[in-house]
Amino acid sequence: MKDLERALKRAGGRRYDDQAERAARRVAAEAAEHGLVDVTFTSMDSPVGPIMVAATRRGLVKIAFGRFADPESFVAQLSTLSPRVLEAPGYFDAIRKELDEYFEGKRTRFDLPLDWSLTGGFGRRVLRHTARIPYGKVSTYREIAALAGSPRGARAAGNALGANPIPIVVPCHRVLHTGGGLGGYGGGLDKKRFLLELEGAIEQPLPASS
């Protein structure tokens, strides 16, 4: 364990050639597996642009894309969970595989364990009910608010969905305005429309709001 800790310290803050980079990735993966870090993260490409992904030992804790995918601000948000944060690309093979399958139209349900630590209260209830919306289906802010225990809380439900720390996997893109308009989306309405079209949930363009 001490040898691994020393190797981890030597790996920090340097640039590597290919061989050293692979070694650094192995060290990072081993550090995560041995509990030397609490939060790991990486970046990956996707049809909706670069994505930042983070996980704890409990499961997937955060996904960011669009204007939220800035690495520095992403890591700063992760530090609210723990100061022991490490980039570990090799730790995310399973998550990367499921996301790739989803974007290729081969996966309609994620099997990833989730860590809800960045949510709480009414917002967590909203997101848990949102996570149950089936692939290819949609709900509304009003319906989700009612399921979460606040029938008049559509606006609050919208705020909770806008702050969803695990978009795509917790499919807040499947929640629309009551009249059928797209509503809002933290990653941008173009991405919300793309995801809904990918899933076959909409067959023609919807207005941005209703």
Active site residues: 172
CA distances from 24 to 9, 12, 35 (A): 10, 9, 17
Report angle CA 187, 147, 65 to the nearest 5 degrees: 10
